Amino acid sequence: MANEPPLLDAAAHDFRPAPNSEARGRGAKVFVPWSLCETVGEWHFYPIRADPTRILDEHWCMSPYYTLRDDFYKLPKYSLTGINITLADYHDGPLENWTTGALHFNGSSQYAVLKNEDIERPVTMTVGSRSDNQTRTVSGADLTNPQIHTSSFLVEIYFKAAVGQTEMVLVQKINGSGYVLGINKAGGVTFATSSGGNTVWLDSRIVVNDGQWHHVIAEANRKNKTLTIYLDGKQDATGLGFGGDVSLANDADLYVGGGPNGHYLNGAIDFLRMARSTLADSKTTIEELYAWEFNGPFLYDFNGRRRSSDGGCAGAIDMNPNPEISPGTPSDSPVP
C-alpha cells in the first residue's frame, strides 16, 4: 500500500514515478522467450520452495490431439527432477531478478533427469464435443514430447561453465540412438546425433568454458540433413546430419547437467528449451530470436527507455534517468 500518490501528476497525464514513489526500485526484470514451433519442453529453473528438486516444465504446444479448451490440464508437462539439488543451489541469474532463476551444478554429484517412462506416457484426450463422451489415447510417435523420432529438432540453452571445464553433458537422451549436447575436450560445444550405431556430430569453433554466460541453439534439420550450432546470436558451425528417414528414438532418460555416469556440469543453467522444429519452421532467424530475447521490449518501458539492470521502477514508465531528457524521449537505442 502506498501512503502517497506513486505518480508525479496522473491527472495531468504525467505517469512518471514521484520522487518518493513506492514504485521506485520495485521493478522486476523478466525474460520472455521468442516463440518457437512445436515446443516440447521449457525449463526456467525457478525454485519451488516446497520441493527444490522439481524443475517445472512450462512449455506450451498446440498439439493436434488438443481439441477442447477444458482439456488443457490433460496435456503432459515434462518437469525435471534434480538429483542432489537443494534450495541453496538456486542463484541469481542474468535473465531475471524477481527470483533466483539460475540453477548451479557443482560438477561432482548434481544433475537433473526426466524419466523416459514420463516422456512416453500416453495421453487421453476428448474427441469431438464433451457431450459425446468419446476419448482418444495418443502414444508413441504421435506424442509431442522430447522423444525425437524422424522430426527436425533444436535445443536452446543459456548457461555458463567453469573455466577450463571439458567433457561434460549439457543435455542428452541417448542409448544407441539419440542426441547429445555437451562441452568437448577443446572447450567448445559438440552437438551429436546417433542412430543404429552410426553417429554424426558437429563441433563449435568458439570455446564456451570461460566462466561466462553463453546462449546456444543446436539445430538438426532433418529435411536438409544438416546440423547447425548458433552461439551468442550468430551461426557458428554447420555440417552433415541425418535425414528424416532415420529415427533417433530410444528408451534412455533425458539428462541435464550430467548423469549417473558422470560428465557433470560445473556451472549454471538459466534457461533450457527443446522444440521439434527448426528456426526456419518457426519463420524466424537466429538474429531475430537473439534480438528479442536479449534486447526485447520487455526490457524497456513504454517510452522505449531501457530499464536498469535491477528492473527499475514498477509500472509502465520508468524514472527519467536524465532530467534533460523529456518524457517520451528514448535515452538509448529504440526497441528493435
Per-residue pLDDT of 301-313, as tens digits, reads 998 989 888 888 9
Indicate the range of 22-26, 159-163, 183-187, 204-208 predicted with least confidence.
22-26
Co-location of 169 and 246 in the same domain: yes
Per-residue pLDDT of 34-52, as tens digits, reads 999 999 999 999 999 999 9
Per-residue pLDDT of 105-156, as tens digits, reads 999 999 999 999 999 999 988 877 666 668 889 999 999 999 999 999 999 9
Q: Is 13 part of any domain?
A: no
Q: Is 7 part of any domain?
A: no
Co-location of 173 and 93 in the same domain: yes
Q: Is 8 part of any domain?
A: no
Co-location of 119 and 245 in the same domain: yes
Indicate the range of 197-201, 238-242, 320-324 predicted with least confidence.
320-324
Band of the pLDDT at 336, cuts 50, 70, 90?
very low
Co-location of 322 and 268 in the same domain: no
Sequence-ordered list of residues with C-beta below 8 angstroms from that of 104, at least 6 positions apart, any chain: 89, 90, 91, 267, 268
- Three-state secondary structure readout of 104-152: EEECCCCEEEECHHHHHCCEEEEECCHHHCEEEEECHHHCCCCCCCCCC
Sequence-ordered list of residues with C-beta below 8 angstroms from that of 265, at least 6 positions apart, any chain: 105, 107, 111, 159, 161, 165, 168, 169, 170, 257, 258
Co-location of 91 and 187 in the same domain: yes
Q: Is 91 part of any domain?
A: yes
Cβ-in-10-Å burial (0-12, 13-18, 19+) of 148 comes to: buried
Report the mean per-residue pLDDT for the chain.
92
Co-location of 263 and 335 in the same domain: no
Q: Is 24 part of any domain?
A: no
Confidence check: pLDDT of 202 > 70: yes
Domain count, the chain: 2
> Which structural domain, as residue segments, surrounds residue 134?
37-295
Co-location of 211 and 81 in the same domain: yes
Band of the pLDDT at 75, cuts 50, 70, 90?
confident
Co-location of 325 and 208 in the same domain: no
Co-location of 52 and 145 in the same domain: yes
Percent of the chain with pLDDT over 70: 93
Q: Are 260 and 198 in contact (CB under 8 A)?
A: no
Band of the pLDDT at 70, cuts 50, 70, 90?
confident
